[in-house]
């Protein structure tokens, strides 16, 4: 639900990252096997394997349509040894995960915006989800724009189910175009932040988000964060507009957006991906007029 900031890089910059990713990947691979895969791609897809690795998100969507077309059933099936090599060796052992994560500059799961994803020097403490399932489309198992760093919960919840929206999708600049958080409260005590709200609600006008919300089980998973909404409502009771204006007056040189200080999270669409729950807190913070 949070578009990668990587999409905002120029196409030349993106290209540079993707080309380097491809060369790091292929440098570790078995030349003979890569030649076999390349021959298969040229023969069946009329393109080289390297252009499948570096294909843009739009090109991958087109390729997926081609591979999924029912009248071609069977024609694009990869021979088993190639499929095995692609998934068990090339993907599992040779994908330069840390390089990919550095390129994307991603620190919070883009699917749920609930969990940090990290990397240390030697370990990548995040999972890579294949937006287009690797079992169904093994030829895209190592394509840069098919790999989504994500948290364990999302990767496990999604399994092989198809999603409609990828964080690489360039049609959307901001998560605000994709979905909106709200809540329901049944009592005055809930509205005053004295009790957890009844529920957190996620709405979207975009059809492509339906599967993401449903298959990633976001409405259910988000209910655990009702205490955060409670805190926002409580803050609304004690942080009057005068109090916030006073803060701004008292610290005129303040570098951080006052809204961020008030809700304790980032509030702009470009920064939702920097800290868990930023999108939910910003949406609800605005809804209750705690922030502008
Ligand atoms: Zn997640």
Each residue of 78-100: pLDDT tens digit?
899 999 999 999 999 999 998 99
- 3-state SS assignment for residue 130: strand
Query: How many structural domains are present in the chain?
Result: 2
Rounded CA-CA distance 184/203 in Å is: 13
What does DSSP assign to residue 187?
S
- Same domain, yes or no, for 10 and 154? yes
Q: State the distance from the centre of ligand 1 to the C-alpha of 109, rounded, in angstroms.
A: 5
- Same domain, yes or no, for 202 and 66? no
Q: State the distance from the centre of ligand 1 to the C-alpha of 205, rounded, in angstroms.
A: 21
- Same domain, yes or no, for 107 and 204? no
Supply the angle between the helices 278-287 and 226-238 in degrees, to the nearest 10: 40
- What distance separates the 2 farthest-apart alpha carbons in the chain? 70
- Same domain, yes or no, for 262 and 208? yes
**Measured between alpha carbons, how far is residue 23 from residues 54, 88, 113, 198, 241 in Å?**
10, 19, 31, 51, 55
- Same domain, yes or no, for 35 and 141? yes
Q: State the distance from the centre of ligand 1 to the C-alpha of 62, rounded, in angstroms.
A: 26
- Same domain, yes or no, for 66 and 122? yes
pLDDT tens by residue, 177-230: 999 999 999 999 999 999 999 999 999 999 999 999 999 999 999 999 999 999
pTM of structure: 0.92
Other CB atoms within a 10 A radius of the CB of residue 93 amount to 9
Rounded CA-CA distance 64/57 in Å is: 10
Q: State the distance from the centre of ligand 1 to the C-alpha of 70, rounded, in angstroms.
A: 32
The contacts of residue 52 (CB under 8 Å, 6+ apart) are 41, 45, 63, 139, 140, 143
Instruction: Report if residue 205 sits inside a domain.
Output: yes
Instruction: Report if residue 169 sits inside a domain.
Output: no
Q: State the distance from the centre of ligand 1 to the C-alpha of 56, rounded, in angstroms.
A: 23
- Same domain, yes or no, for 181 and 137? no
- Percent of the chain residues topping a pLDDT of 70: 96
pLDDT tens by residue, 256-285: 777 888 899 999 999 999 999 999 999 999
Higher pLDDT, 252 or 282: 282
Q: Which domain holds residue 265?
A: 175-287
- Same domain, yes or no, for 115 and 180? no
Instruction: Report if residue 135 sits inside a domain.
Output: yes
Of the residues 130, 158, 186, which one is the last residue of a structural domain?
A: 158
> In the prediction, which pLDDT does 120 show?
74
- Same domain, yes or no, for 133 and 45? yes
Q: State the distance from the centre of ligand 1 to the C-alpha of 7, rounded, in angstroms.
A: 19
Q: How confident is the model at residue 251 (pLDDT cuts 50, 70, 90)?
A: confident
């Amino acid at each position: 639900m949070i578009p990668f900031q990587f999409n905002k890089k120029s196409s030349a910059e993106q290209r540079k990252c993707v080309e380097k990713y491809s060369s790091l990947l292929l440098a570790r691979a078995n030349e003979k096997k890569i030649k076999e895969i390349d021959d298969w791609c040229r023969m069946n897809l009329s393109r080289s394997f390297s252009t499948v690795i570096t294909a843009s998100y739009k090109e991958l969507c087109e390729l997926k349509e081609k591979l999924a077309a029912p009248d071609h059933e069977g024609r694009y099936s990869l021979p088993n040894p190639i499929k095995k090599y692609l998934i068990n060796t090339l993907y599992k052992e040779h994908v330069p995960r840390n390089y990919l994560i550095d390129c994307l500059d991603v620190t919070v799961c883009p699917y749920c915006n609930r969990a940090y994803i990290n990397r240390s020097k030697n370990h990548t403490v995040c999972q890579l989800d294949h937006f287009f399932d690797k079992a169904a489309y093994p030829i895209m198992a190592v394509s840069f724009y098919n790999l989504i760093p994500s948290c364990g919960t999302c990767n496990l919840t999604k399994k092989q189910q198809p999603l409609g929206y990828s964080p690489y999708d360039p049609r959307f600049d901001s998560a605000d175009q994709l979905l909106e958080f709200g809540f329901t409260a049944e009592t005055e005590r809930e509205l005053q932040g004295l009790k957890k709200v009844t529920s957190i609600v996620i709405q979207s006008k975009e059809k492509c988000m339906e599967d993401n919300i449903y298959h990633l089980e976001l409405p259910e998973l988000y209910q655990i964060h009702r205490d955060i909404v409670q805190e926002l409502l409580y803050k609304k009771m004690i942080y009057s507009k005068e109090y916030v204006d006073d803060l701004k007056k008292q610290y005129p040189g303040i570098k951080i957006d006052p809204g961020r200080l008030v809700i304790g999270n980032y509030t702009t669409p470009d920064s939702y991906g920097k800290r868990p729950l930023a999108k939910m807190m910003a949406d609800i913070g605005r809804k209750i007029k705690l922030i502008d």
